[in-house]
Amino acid sequence: MAKVWELLDRANQLIGSRRDSEAQLILDEVLRLDPQNMDAWEAYMRLCRTQGDFEGLKNYIRLIWETRVREEDYLQAMQRFLLQRVEERMQGV
């Protein structure tokens, strides 16, 4: 199995080549392994092109946090930070 950083490198290469659906599959795998991986979430944000894409990402973040993340106090703060980053990026679309 590839290491997380190798998967992220591949996903970023695919994003650079506009092969978004392939990149998304890899990012989903990274987030399955490490749902708090901020590099993966940042890459996911780069896949968003419309307000609807960003809204979908916000829903995905909430789903991941509800189903995959533990230790709520600290992690809820990270979720709020991540959702704030998505909101900031949405403003530029």
Which architecture, in CATH terms, is 4-91?
Alpha Horseshoe (1.25)
* pLDDT in the model for residue 65: 83
Question: Model confidence over 1-51: pLDDT tens digits?
Answer: 679 899 999 999 999 999 999 999 999 999 998 888 999 999 999 999 999
Q: Which amino acid is at 54?
A: F
Number of residues written out for the chain: 93
Q: Domain extents for the chain?
A: 4-91
* pLDDT in the model for residue 93: 84
Q: What angle do CA 4, 45, 35 make, to 5 degrees?
A: 40
Question: Model confidence over 71-89: pLDDT tens digits?
Answer: 655 667 777 788 888 988 8
**How does DSSP assign the chain, residue by residue?**
---HHHHHHHHHHHHHTT-HHHHHHHHHHHHHH-TT-HHHHHHHHHH--SHHHHHHHHHHHHHHHHHH---HHHHHHHHHHHHHHHHHHHHT-
Q: At what angle do helices 38-47 and 20-33 cross, to 10 degrees?
A: 160
* pLDDT in the model for residue 71: 65
